[in-house]
Amino acid sequence: MTRLIAAFLLLLSARPDVLLGQATAPATQLRPGTRVRIVTRDDSKPRVTTVVAQFGDTLLVRWPGLNTLRLPADEIRQLEVSTGRHRNVLKGMLLGTGIGGTVGGVLGAASYQPCESTEFMGCFMAPTSQGESAVIGGAVFGVLGFVVGSLVGLASHDTWQQVPLDARRVTVNVAPRAHGAGLGVALEF
């Protein structure tokens, strides 16, 4: 039984956030050089900046083109951390092809007119039905959508993860005693 208790205490010391049932903000997320997106009490839209340092409840950040600024925690309404830059080329290709093909099919069907030329080879590549016109329009616009979607998907963008601002800090301390172990739990608000 004591081994089970010791294993439980070891688990709590490794992951104290499970004690609260909610994840706390990892301290390593706000290390110097981290890209963050911040909404302050004065701003309505988020601004991307770089963390210079963190001192207790104050965040030292460098705005693009400006000097370093101290932001107290109570001035920050929303804080997000960049988990990296990503591209969505495949998603862009699929969406572009699908949207372009659909729009082209609808436009091709709506613009169909039977060919009535009497010249030699006058109706050579002309569609003979509304369905054929829809297929040709879908194919042309689908290829165009594929190219545009691929180019849009090449643009890289940040993926953001929100940092809870009211995260509680839990620390667990296991101290060996003469006949067992002592457990200390501290909860900061």
pLDDT in tens, 17-57: 455 444 344 444 578 888 888 888 888 788 888 888 888 77
Please give the C-alpha separations between residue 79 and each of 20, 113, 124, 184, 188, in angstroms, as whole numbers.
Answer: 21, 57, 62, 31, 20
pLDDT in tens, 62-97: 887 778 888 888 888 888 888 888 899 999 999 999
Cβ atoms of 79 and 163 closer than 8 Å? yes
Exposure string over 53-91, b if 16+ CB within 10 A, otherwise e = ebeeeebebeeeeeeeeebeeeebeebbbbeeeeebeee
pTM of the model: 0.51
Identify the bridge partners of residue 16 per DSSP, sorted by sequence position.
none
Closest by Cα among 99, 93, 98, 101 to 139? 101
With tokens 């180019």, the residue in question is 151
Of 13-27, 30-44, 101-115, 121-135, the poorest mean pLDDT is in: 13-27
Task: pLDDT band for 7, please (50, 70, 90 cuts).
Answer: low
